[in-house]
Structures are given as C-alpha cells and as structure tokens.
Structure 1
Amino acid sequence: MSQSQSGFLETVVGWDSTKCQENLDTALPRLIECFQELDVIQEQIGILKIICHSFLPCVQVTDAEEKVFSRLMDQVCGLFDLTLEDIQLHTQKGDRKSSLPLITDRLQSLVDLSEFLETCVCHMQTGNMPLEWSCLHSLPRGTIHFLRGAYGHCKVSGELYQELLSCLSVPLSNLFKKTHSLQVAFLRLLDNLRVSDQVTEQEVQEITQVCRGLFDVCQIVTSLDMKLMVTLWKAISKHAVSNKAHIGHHLEVGDMVNHLCGEIQTGFVYLLQLLPRLDLEGRVLSQGDEKGFQKSLKILGFQMKILVMLVREFSDLLDRCEKQVYNLLLTLHRLLPPSLSAQQIDQKNLSEIQQHLTNATDVLIKAFLPNKLFIETLTGSEKVGAVRDEDSFPELQILLRVLDNLPQMEGSVEMGLPLYITDPSLTGKHEKSMTLYENCCTRVCGFLGSLTTKLFNKAEEVLLENILSHDLWCRLLAEDVWCFLVRYGSADLCRDQVNFLVELMKQSPPAFQPPSPLLSLTVRLIKCLAPEHQAELTQSLGASDDPVSLRVLASCVQGFSDPGLCQGVIHSVSEICSWLLREITTTEEYTQEDLHRLVLCLSCLCELLGQNDTIPLAVQPHVTSSITDTIGRLWKGIVASDWLNTSLSLQCLGKLILLSSYLLLSLDNDVLDKILTGMSSCVQQESSVHLHLTLVYFLRSFGKVRLTASPEQPQMLKRLSDLFVATLTSSDLFIYHHGLSAFTKFAEETLHEAVVPSCIEDQPGLQDCVVQFINKSPYTCSGELSRLDFLRIVPPCRIGVDMDSDSGVSDHQSGPSSKRPRLMENVNHCQVSQQLKTSVEELVGVLRKTLSDLEAFTKSEDTDMTPQTWNNLEHIQTKIMDIMKEKG
C-alpha cells in the first residue's frame, strides 16, 4: 500500500457520519479505487469494512447499485475465489499443520466477506418504498456466488482438511453461521422486491439467474442441513411461481424436477430402511428407528409437495424430466405393497407413507398426461417385452392411472396370483378388496365408459390391436372391456360388431382361420345378441360351408337362447363336418388344403361332441356313428410320428386325439391300440407341450373304457401304463400337474386296476404324491419352488394356455374361465431342480441345434409359421442381444 493510500485511509477512518456524508462523492470513489489497486487480502477487506460502516449508510438505496455494488461486486467475488484457492493450495502442502494459522486467517477473511455482503443486503432494506428488481443487478449475483462457494467449501471440508478438521471446527462453524445469516437476509430482501410495471429483458434474466442460483445452492446444502434445503426450496418455488409469466420459458424447471425426483428416490429407499423388519405374518424381527422415520418422512413429504407444485405450475414448460418422473413413479409403486418386491410394512407406517408421498403421484400423472414424451416413455412400442419383471406391476399401476392407452406390456407376475388390492376411488365409502385383474378391468371400463361417442372408433381400434396381442393379459383385458362396451350398448351395435368380427376372420389367410382370439370374442358377443339377431346370424352363416362360418357356429352353440335354434345348428354343422371328414379320408395323400380342412372338421366336431355332457342337446346318433367309423379308418391309415413335422399336421394330430377321447366308448380294440401306439411314439419323440397335454386329456377319459378280451389287451395296458409313467415323470410342471389329475381320475373309474400299481411301483414317492394330490395338500420337499418362483419362471402365456391355437385341449368355454387350474404350491420333482441347474454350455448347445432346425424348417416349402411365432422369435432375439450387451 502506498503512503498516499495509507494516509487517505487513516484520515477517513476518523470521520464521523456527517463528515462522510459531506465527502461521499469524492471519498467513496477513492476508496473503491484503493480496493481495486491493492492485492493483499487483509488490506482489501479493511477497505470493504470502511465502506460498509462509514460510507454505505450515507448512500441512498436507489443509488447503491450505481455508486457501490456495480463497481465492487466483481472484485469482491474475485477476492472470495482467490481466498478459497489460497486455502486449497495450503492444504496440499506436505507439512499441513504448519499452514494451520494461515488457513485460519483465510477462513476469517471469508467470514469478513460474508459480513460485508450481509451489510449491503440489509442496507437495501432500509428504505420506506418497495424496491424494484431494476434497482439491483450486481448484489444478487455476488450474494449467490458467495453462498454457492461458502456452502460448497463447508460441504467438502472433511475431505479437504482431513486431520486438520478438528483444529478448524470453530472457524468453519463461524463461516457456516455467517453464510446462513447472509442467506436469511438475502431471502428477506428478495421478498421485498417487485417487478416493474414495464418489465425489461434484463430483469427477466436477473430473476431467472437468482432462481437458478438458489437452486444451485439448494443442491449443495441438501447433504449439509435439511432446514436450509427446506428454506431455499420455499424461496425458489415462491419466486418462480410469482414470476412465472416472465421467467417460465427461461427457468429450465426440468432440471429442478430431475433433482427432486432423484432426492425423493434416494430418500425413499433410506426411509424404508428405518422401518421395523417384519416377517410374512407381521411379527417384528428387528426394531426400526421411529424418530428417524418420522423426520425423513416429513422431509420427503415436503420435497414431494415442491415437486408437485413445480410440475403443476409449469406443466406446459417441462422438458428432459419425463424419464426421471417415470422412474420415481416406478420406484414408489415397486417398493410399496401390494407389489411383491415390497418389504412387509406395518399398516400405520404404510398409511403415513401414502398420505405424505404416494397420494401425490396422481397429481404428477395428471400433470404429465399432455406431455407426449412422458406418454411415449410409458407406452412406447419398444417397451413391449423390455420391461423388467419387478417393474411390470408398478408400470401397470401407472398405466391404470393414465388410461390414455390400453396396456401394451408383458403381464406382471402379480396378475397370476390371488393378489388383492384396495381402491377407494372405485368402491366409494366402503373399501372393497379386489384382485389386481378386476381392478384393471374396472378402471379401464370406467375410463372408456366416460368417452364421447366420437372417440369410440379409436377405442375399438386399440381394443382390436390388443385382442390380437401375443400377451395373455392384454388379450383377456381387451376382450372383457370389449364385452363391457357391447353389453351396455344397443342391440344393433352388438349385431354390427359380431358381423364385423366374422367378416374379419373370413378375410384372414387360410392358415390362420379362424384366429383364436377373435373367435373367443365373437362367441362371447353372440351370447349378447338379441334372439332375432341370433336367428339372422345362424341363417347367414349356415347358408355356406366356409371354414369360419362352421367354426363360429360350432363354438357358440351354448350361447343361443332358443333350444330349437341350438339343435338346428348342431345338426347342420355335424352333418357338414361328417361329410367333409369322409371326403378327406378317401384322399391318398394330404395337401396343405386338405390339412386345413381336416383341422376345421376336427375342431368343429370337438366343439360339438365336447358339449354332450353340458347341454341336453347332442349330435344325432347316426352322425356320431358315421364320425366314429371315419375316425377309425383315419387312425388305421396314418403313422402318428409322421405328423409331428409341421405345426399344421401337429394340429391335426392333436385334434384327432382329442376327438377320439370323446368317442372312446365306441372305438374298437384295434383302433384303441393304434391310438395308444401313436401316442407312445409322440411321447418318445418329445412332442410339444400342447400335444402332450392333449394326450393327458385322452388318458383322463380312458378310465371308463373296458377293453374286450383279445391278444392285444396286455400290450395295450402296458402302453397305457408307460404313457402314464411318462406323464408323471415329465419335467414340465403343467404336464406333471395335469398328469396327476388324469391318473387319479383314471384310478377311480377304471376296471383295469392292474394299470395303477404298474405305474407307481417303479416310481419312488409317486404314490405319496398321488395321495396328497387327492387330499389337496401340497407336497413339501427340500428345494421346493414357491408359487411366486413358479410364476416367475413360467411365461405368462403358459399360465393361461390357449389349447385351441396349437393342437391342444380346447376348454370349450366361450370366454376366460372363472376357475383357473389349481397350481402346485410345491413340486416333488427332482427333474425340475435339475432342469433349472442346466449349465450355460448345455443351453447354448441346445440353442445351436434348435437354430439349425429352425433354419431348415423356414426354408421348406410347407412352412406354416403363425404371426405369433414370428413375434416370439423377435422377442427372443431382443432378449439375447440384451444379455450380450449386459455381459459385454
């Protein structure tokens, strides 16, 4: 410092307030010049103190920006940064303790700078008139700069100072307190500022910068002090909303939303760790931290309120935050009951979480409904098959709230369980527990029921798309919703839609006639037709013998309200199919067209004969006799193993076996022997699961058969025993379960009792399994598969197998069964665990062989691959690519 500068400073220090006021215009600029010329931190801070205490009180509030802040603030910020760099430099020296006095001194300098800024901020609040933003430019920028840097320094102090931290706790504490005091004063100043009547672009930029700056500070203090975080978010939300009309397009609220979503996700996971650990029965295994839980919940609730406020107020200005909001919603739904990924939570704690957090998710979803990117994130076509198993249920929960599109995703595991949820919004004052599927269906029906008629064409388009989906739950849901819409519509609407579906099936390629999902829906809708419309339909369909017409009539017999109409349909369809079947059996070599016609005839006859026990009407005896004779000739002329090459011939074989099961009591021994021989060949060649289940159904019906005495009888009983053994030792859980059911029914009804002991005598433990199955008690063993594990292993489409689509057993029901098959809780099956332990090398080997077979099959001329099969192949390819990417 020069002598002239030193003398000047000594002079002004001695001035009183009157002297300072008289010399303000000359002394203040000279002081600022001295500050800018000096490069010693302590000397610069000394000048700032003189300005603050002697001259700033003399400056009018409206003149402070021009005379003081605009000239000083950049240099003050530079001095602050230089001081932090000096501290950083001295903490990196080898002898850190020797730097302790200088570091302490520099920390005090930061405290002095904080006091200078606070004095400036407080001075701006001494006027009587409210201030406009145009009166302040430099001071807010400098204050934000200091808050960001000082809080950031306190945040990294542990890592920065290490063993010196204990010696610096006092000066660091002083710095934190002074910074907080500056923050309080600054926020109070902001509350007193108002936008001018003619707002300028500069004001808009400065308000935006202040809000962004406070957000930067908020991100720093989140891990320092929760009270500071709360205070800052209140200030941000207040000024952002009050100035939304001016700064909305400049604020980049999406960054704030992303930060809050991340904080809530992290805090929510931590919150659940504070809860007591409970077992499945609700017993406490370990105590939690109730006080910590309440504190964390309060903070999370506040953050959620701020998030909701930002999303609601700036809903049309959000960008780049859709994915983060989506992930937050997934996390909240995934980690809370009734999700199977959730831990056991006491009802009291769960209610508190719902009150403070999850109840706000509906507001978030509603605000994001107009957001195209959010909807694409949720319902994009690329998501089909790509959703993680643990995210299927939470995504479905979100979709139910959106209801903008029907679900287009893999069904969640929770769909296959008797999972009950409570939804007061659907049940009114009295809460009612319902299954997840019932909840989904009710929500979607309610949504579509509220649509205007002009949107129904779009709704029908989406429903049809899902009816044809490869996913079981999408199909069932779309079918039920469609029936809901028709049921509450007019009779003419129902008639028109039935005609539309029938025509759509007729226009399908012959290989896919009739598509099973469309057939199921059509049969259900026919039940809703008015009697006169049912009569019209039978007349129009009965006038032709095309495949679709015959199959529709055969499938919907039970849906006709007039018994006479029903009997007429049975008679005409059975007559036509019997005639077609006789004609086909006279053919020496079957073409593709012959096989399609054969599948049609067999399918229709299976539908009609399979209903003999459920309706008083039946196929005429002379027609049944003709069919029996034709079936006998057909079995004698084929080799079953030759029919396993293509899917079409496989369907024929499955339908032939199924139809034969309805005619068992009328078939001769030689035909039965031919059937059992063919079935044994199919089992030895490891036929498809669908075909094997058809064989099981045949065996189930064999208990009523009494074989006449003949030389072939012992051999036939041996084949029958071997078929049961193959079924009861199958590694497939469905075949094994249905095999147990078939075996117990056979054992109860058969006159050939020797078959029963011959099946179980060489199978250790099988007798116990049969006994416990009869008693409906699950068999327990080590390494058992829980029901949940079973559902996670078996694809959803296997749980509700559509036998009619792939040469299996038709359930002869017009809609989804209300009684699902009882699944085994536990499996006494060593082959199951062995199958799950198959090495990767073996799996790859099997895959390579399968690919070779697939390639040869697709190149053959009689390739018959359905769209569903191609769709499944695409999903397999995607999964393999994902595995390869994950493993590098």
Structure 2
Amino acid sequence: MEQVLSEKLGLPPEQQLPQCLILITIMDKLSTQPEEVQTLWNTGKSLSLFSALFFSFQQCSAELSLPVCLPEVISTGQPAVPITLYHYVCVHLCSFIASTLPSHFPQLEYALLDAVLGSSMITSLLAMDSWCFLARYGTAELCAHHVVVIAHLIKSWPSDCYQVSALGVLLRRMLFLMAPDHQVEFAHKFLPEEVENLPVWQHLSLKALNPDLRKQVACQLCVAGLAQCRRWLNSSRILGELQSVNTALSVLLAACSFADDTLEAELQASVLEVLGQFWTFLQAKQVSDEPCLQQTLCLLLHLLEFFVQALDVQPITQVFALQSSLFQLDPPDHVRLAMVDFLSSMGKVFIPQEAQRQVVPQLSCLFASLLADQTWLIHQHALEAFTHFAEETSHEDVVPQCLNSEEIKNKVVSFLAKTRQVEETTEARTERMKQERLTCSAQFMKMDGKLESTGEPLAKKACHSPSEEEYKSAVGTMEGAVEAVKLLLRKGSPPAWLAVKLETLHTAVADLRDSVR
C-alpha cells in the first residue's frame, strides 16, 4: 500500500497508465474489504487512494489525448465495448465514491478540491464530474453545503487566478443540482443586490433557477451591475479599479444570457445606455497595453450581441472603428475570439445606409483576417462564425469580400463540404504525444510551484534543511525545461538571443556543479 500510494514513484512514461489501472483495480475491490482495510487505503500516510488516482491520472496526458480505449460493460448482460480512458476512470471512480464510508469523506473532499484547483485541466474536469456525481448521489443537504463552501471560496479568493475559473465552472454545474428550496436559501445567503456577492453570481447560469426566482435575481443583478458601472464611469475612471467593473459587466452578461426574456424593457434600455458610454472613451492603443481593458472589451462585445439589432449608427461605427484599429496592434487570442463571436451576430443586422461606407469594408477585412489566422482555435471559430453570418445576412455583397484569397476561399469551401483534412499517421501522432507530455509535465511542475503565491502572502516558515525529494523535484523541473527547449528547436529556427541565454545558463549550472563537489 505504501508503495502504490507513494507520490514519488518516479515511473517512466510507459508505466504511468499501468499505475493508474492498478489503482482502479484496487478501488473496485476495496468496498468488499473490512472497514479497517478501507481506512488504511483511504487515509494513507502519503496520499489517500483518492488523491493517488488523481495524481496518477494527470500523468497519463498522452494516453488521454490519443485516446487509449479500454473495455467496459455498459449494460448488464451486454458485451464489453471500448471506451476512452477518461470515461473508464470516471465510471470506476464514481462507483468507488458511492461505496465510500462517511468517515472517509474528509479525504474524498480534500482530494476533489485539490484536483479541481490543480494545474491540469483534464484532471480538474474529472474531479468536477465526480463531484457532481456525489452531489446527485448524496443528499440534497450535502449538495447545498458544498455549494455554499465553493461560493465562499470564490468570494475570498483573488479574482485574477485560474483556480477561480475552475471553481466557477464547478459552482455553475452544482447550482443545477440543488433542490429548489435550497436555491432560494442560496439567493438569500448571497444576496444578488450586494456588490460583495457579484463575484459569485458572475459564474452562475440563471437557467438553473425556477422562473420566478430567475426573474427576481436577474433584475437585482442588473440593478447592482449597472450601479457599479455608473460609479466607475462617473468617477475618475482609474484602471486599477476596473476589476470591479469587469465583475459588474460579467453579472450583466449572466443576466442577459439567461433571463433576457424576463428583463423589463426599462432595464434593457439602461444596459444599452451604459454600454454606449464605454465606447466613447475606449482607445485601441490603451486596450492593447492594458489586460484589464482587454477583458472589458471582450465583455462589452459579448453583451452587444444581445442588443446588436437595437444599435444606432454611431455605436456601430464606434465598435467597428475600435476593432479595426485594435486588430492592427495584434491583440491576444481571447480578444480575437470575442471579435469572432460579435461578427457572427452581425448577420442579424441591417447596417444603415449612412454607416455602410465605413462599416462594410471593416467588417469584411476583420473576417478575412480572422479566417486567415494561424491559431487553429481562432481559425475554426472564424469558419463557424462566417458560415453563420453568411446564412443570415441581408448584405450578400459582403460575403465574397471576406474571401480575399484563394486559400481562404478553399478553406471555407472545404469546411462547408465537411471535407476532412490530411491526418497524421499513428506513429507521428504517438511521437508528438510523447513530446507534448514532456512539455506539459514541465509546465505542471512550474504551475504547481506557483500555487502558494497566488493568494495572500504566507506566514514565515521555520528554516529546515531541504530534503532529497525537494532536490529531485527541482532537478526534474530543469530536465523538463531542457526537453521543452529541444522540442521548440525541432519546430523552427531559434531567436537570436537564445544562444547567449543558454551560455549564461551553462555557466550557472557549472557553478552549481562545482558547489556540489
């Protein structure tokens, strides 16, 4: 047991999947064992069986990506069918959770929360799926308790870290699983009209609530969000205070996304009026330089999708002028994706005659640039958005103007015809997965090392001599970084400064070697 649950096994990549399957096999058998045996495994000295599985699962990134499939009997009496490794682990983990003794819930809850907050997105998703199973399998009171704990975590955590996003996704899913009376209690506990609770509500889907509660919460969120925006707009507009504005815009987006049919016309008009005030001062250069303003722009574009048919000539020209100017400054991917979504919604709009001369060339130029984007995710979204726009727009003459090269035209035609692109061979894909695993492992170690620095400063710790495991961890990070650089060099020519930097690092490593000797 101590060997299997060790966090420092140091297994080679090809033995990570067998380790994961060993843990699954043990889980399948453990519920039939005496309570003292279950306690030994679920409250291990190093890791509990829950934590060990999440840790082992994270190491199987290549097998998850390929994906590796395993036989599983889905229905009693039916033959086994191949399912993905993710599906296989999720099914067996949920089955184990269903048999877990109540006295072992602290270890289960710790492992679930630790995995949700971890640096591996796929492991975080597995923990969320398992947690949602627990919420449905357990009592309504347990679900409500977990929802309140998660909401308090979101309120108390700095908003600019990825852990809050993960907690937000989990909270959003869990709200759907709450009993209606517990949802009412949640709305009373985290009053939507109070500013301090807006960071919680920005993550939630109002579709989870019954119609009456949804309408009430949506109106309260709109009033609170609009008040927060107006306070900032009518003040000195300090960028350092913009995070609270972005939270308010996120809340407005949540209300408009899932309660637009229940929002009063007066509130909708107020939202549109406030949005118009933002466009009067946003400048492309400032947005390009300030990440907080980039987030503001993305939220504004998403909000405008709900009111795009009600826009007048001036806001339409302002929005497109800003996007065109910003695109010349090479905005980051998340801004480009927000632009793509907004352009997709333009298919519903008849552009006024007085705005067409300015807007139409900018619209076609933005679409052409996004369709030619080298980032596969943006390119794919652009293809979908352009197709949606082309099907809906009454400005049919704009469509060919967006396809300003044969390459773009061929890609759009292939997409519409659902033509499959040339696929890499199994051998090439396997080799790529191996290289990506090295890069991911190095990144996970780097991110996990930063977890303590994302919150408030920690209290000083007593000095102690570093352990052998700490040395192994540090050296492992160095090895992972070296492999990542090797991978980059295979993909293309290095920048001019790399040779000098490597020489500096070489000297630093030589000094370390000499000090060890």
Q: Quickly name the TM-score band, shorter chain normalised.
A: 0.7 to 0.9
- 1:756 is matched with which residue? 399
Q: Distance in 2 between matches of 1:846 and 1:649?
A: 36
Map of 1:824-835 to 2, 5 A cutoff? Answer: none
SS at match of 2:258: coil
Distance 1:744 1:836 in 2: 37
Contact 2:171 2:204 in 1 (8 A): no
Secondary structure of 2:494's match?
A: helix
8 Å contact 1:747–1:756 — kept in the other structure?
Answer: yes
Structure 1: distance between partners of 2:154 and 2:500: 35
Q: What residue number does 2:222 align with?
A: 574
Whether the 8 Å contact between 2:98 and 2:137 is mirrored in structure 1 is no
CA contact (8 A) 1:553 1:569 kept: no
**What is the 5 A alignment of 1:76-155?**
none
Which residue of the partner structure matches residue 475 of structure 1? 124
User: Which residue of 137, 145, 162 corresponds with 1:488?
Assistant: 137
What's the secondary structure of 1:515's corresponding residue? helix
Work out whether residues 320 and 359 of structure 2, in 8 Å CA contact, stay in contact via their aligned partners in 1.
yes
Q: Is the contact between residue 467 and residue 474 of structure 1 (CA under 8 Å) also seen in structure 2?
A: yes
Kindly indicate whether residue 377 of structure 2 is the aligned counterpart of residue 734 of structure 1.
yes
1:416 deviation in Å? 4.2
| 2-structure distance, mates of 1:610, 1:792 | 41
> CA 1:543–1:765 in 2, change beyond 3 Å: closer, same or farther?
closer
1:655 — aligned with what? 299
2:495 to 825, 842, 865: 842
SS in 1 for 2:83: strand
The CA distance in 2 between the partners of 1:526 and 1:553, in whole Å, is: 13
Q: CA deviation at 1:514?
A: 8.7
Match of 1:433 among 50, 73, 82: 82
Q: 1:701 to 1:781 in 2, by over 3 A?
A: same
Shift of 1:429: 6.5
Aligned-pair CA distance for 1:577: 1.1
* Structure 2: distance between partners of 1:512 and 1:847: 33
> Residue 680 in 1 paired to residue 319 in 2?
no
Question: 1:78-122: CA deviations, max 9, x gaps?
Answer: xxxxxxxxxxxxxxxxxxxxxxxxxxxxxxxxxxxxxxxxxxxxx
Aligned partner (choices 710, 721, 726) of residue 364 of structure 2: 721
Partners of 2:313 and 2:132 lie apart in 1 by 46
Q: Structure 1 529/689 Cα, relative in aligned 2: closer, same or farther at 3 Å?
A: same
Letter in 1 for 2:276: G
Q: Deviations along 1:196-224, whole A, 9 cap, x unmatched?
A: xxxxxxxxxxxxxxxxxxxxxxxxxxxxx
Task: Show the counterpart of 1:765.
Answer: 407
CA distance in structure 2 between the partners assigned to 1:520 and 1:738 by the alignment: 22
Equivalent residue of 2:70, what SS? strand
Q: Is 1:638 matched with 2:282?
A: yes
Q: CA deviation at 1:645?
A: 2.6
SS in 2 for 1:765: helix
Q: Tell me the TM-score normalized by structure 1.
A: 0.44
CA contact (8 A) 1:550 1:573 kept: no
Aligned to 2:386: 743
Task: Give the 3 Å change call, closer, same or farther, for CA 371–537 of structure 1 in structure 2.
Answer: same
CA contact (8 A) 1:706 1:752 kept: yes
Distance 1:619 1:752 in 2: 31
CA distance in 2, matches of 1:749, 1:758: 16
Structure number, greater radius of gyration: 1
Identify which of 489, 506, 529 aligns with 2:178: 529
Q: Is contact 1:721–1:759 with CA below 8 Å preserved after alignment?
A: yes
Q: Which residue number corresponds to residue 112 of structure 1?
A: none
How far apart are the structure 1 equivalents of 2:426 and 2:389?
A: 27
Q: Deviations over 1:5-24 (max 9, x none)?
A: xxxxxxxxxxxxxxxxxxxx
Paired residues of 1:703 and 1:751 also in contact (CA < 8 A)? yes
- The question of 1:585 aligning with 2:209 is answered no
Q: Letter of the aligned partner of 2:243 in structure 1?
A: H
Q: Which stretches in structure 2 are left out of the alignment for 5+ residues?
A: 28-48, 441-487
One-letter amino acid of the counterpart of residue 674, structure 1: Q
What's the CA shift for 1:786? 8.5
Which of 162, 166, 172 is residue 517 of structure 1 equivalent to?
166
- Report which structure shows greater RCO (CA 8 Å, sep ≥6): 2
Give 1:644 deviation, angstroms. 2.9
Alignment check: 8 A CA contact 1:424 1:431 kept: yes
The corresponding residue for 1:670 is 314
Tell me which of 697, 708, 720 is aligned to 2:341.
697
Equivalents in 2 of 1:576, 1:377: separation in Å?
50
Q: Label 1:473 to 1:514 Cα distance change in 2 as closer, same or farther (>3 A).
A: closer
Cα-to-partner distance string for 1:137-157 (whole Å, 9 max, x where unaligned): xxxxxxxxxxxxxxxxxxxxx
| 2:250 paired residue number | 603
Between the aligned partners of 2:291 and 2:92, the Cα distance in structure 1 is: 39
Deviations 1:600-620 (A, max 9, x none): 11111222222358xxx4322
Q: 1:688 to 1:565 in 2, by over 3 A?
A: same
Aligned mate of 1:778, from 409, 420, 423: 420
- Looking at structure 2, the residues matched to 575 and 545 of structure 1 have their Cα atoms a distance apart, in angstroms, of 10
Letter matched to residue 371 of structure 1 = Q
Check 1:542–1:513 CA distance in 2 against 1; reply closer, same or farther (3 A cut). farther
Question: Is the 8 Å Cα contact of residues 340 and 370 (structure 2) preserved in structure 1?
Answer: yes
> Could you tell me how far apart the structure 1 residues matched to 2:94 and 2:498 are?
47
Tell me, in whole angstroms, the C-alpha distance in 2 between the residues paired with 1:453 and 1:470. Answer: 28
1:622 is aligned to 266
> Residues 645, 393 of structure 1: CA spacing in aligned structure 2 closer, same or farther, 3 A cutoff?
farther
1:740/1:773 contact within 8 Å kept: yes
Distance 1:789 1:705 in 2: 48
Report the equivalent of 2:3: 371
Structure 1 counterpart of 2:493, one-letter code: V
Deviations, residues 528-552 of structure 1 (Å, cap 9, x unaligned): 2222111111122226513444642
2:343, 2:436 → 1: CA distance? 25
Give, in angstroms, the shift of residue 454 of structure 1.
1.0
User: 1:411·1:474 contact (CA, 8 Å) conserved in 2?
Assistant: no
Query: Deviation of residue 627 (structure 1)?
Result: 1.0
Counterparts of 1:624 and 1:688 in 2: how far apart (Å)? 30
Q: Distance in 2 between matches of 1:722 and 1:767?
A: 14
Amino acid across the alignment from 1:376: E
Query: Any idea what SS the aligned residue of 1:376 has?
Result: coil
Query: Are positions 1:508 and 2:148 aligned together?
Result: no
Task: Tell me the number of residue pairs that the alignment of Structure 1 and Structure 2 aligns.
Answer: 431
Counterpart of 1:622, as a letter, is: E
Q: Offset at 1:468?
A: 0.7
Mapped contact 1:639–1:678 kept (Cα < 8 A): yes
Superposed CA deviations along residues 41-99 of structure 1, whole A, max 9, x for unmatched, are xxxxxxxxxxxxxxxxxxxxxxxxxxxxxxxxxxxxxxxxxxxxxxxxxxxxxxxxxxx
- Unmatched 5+ stretches in structure 1: 1-368, 798-834, 849-876
Please give the alpha-carbon distance, in whole angstroms, between the structure 2 residues aligned to 1:536 and 1:513.
Answer: 28
Distance 1:513 1:398, change over 3 A: closer
SS in 1 for 2:54: coil
Does the CA contact (< 8 Å) of 2:94 and 2:133 recur in 1?
yes
Structure 1 match to 2:473 = none
Q: CA deviation at 1:591?
A: 3.6
Residues 22-33 of structure 1 mapped to structure 2, 5 A cutoff = none
Given that 2:192 and 2:201 are in contact with CA atoms closer than 8 Å, whether structure 1 keeps it comes out as no
Q: What residue is the counterpart of 2:470 in the other structure?
A: none
Select 1:463's aligned residue among 97, 101, 112: 112
- Counterpart of 1:841, as a letter, is P
RMSD: 3.5
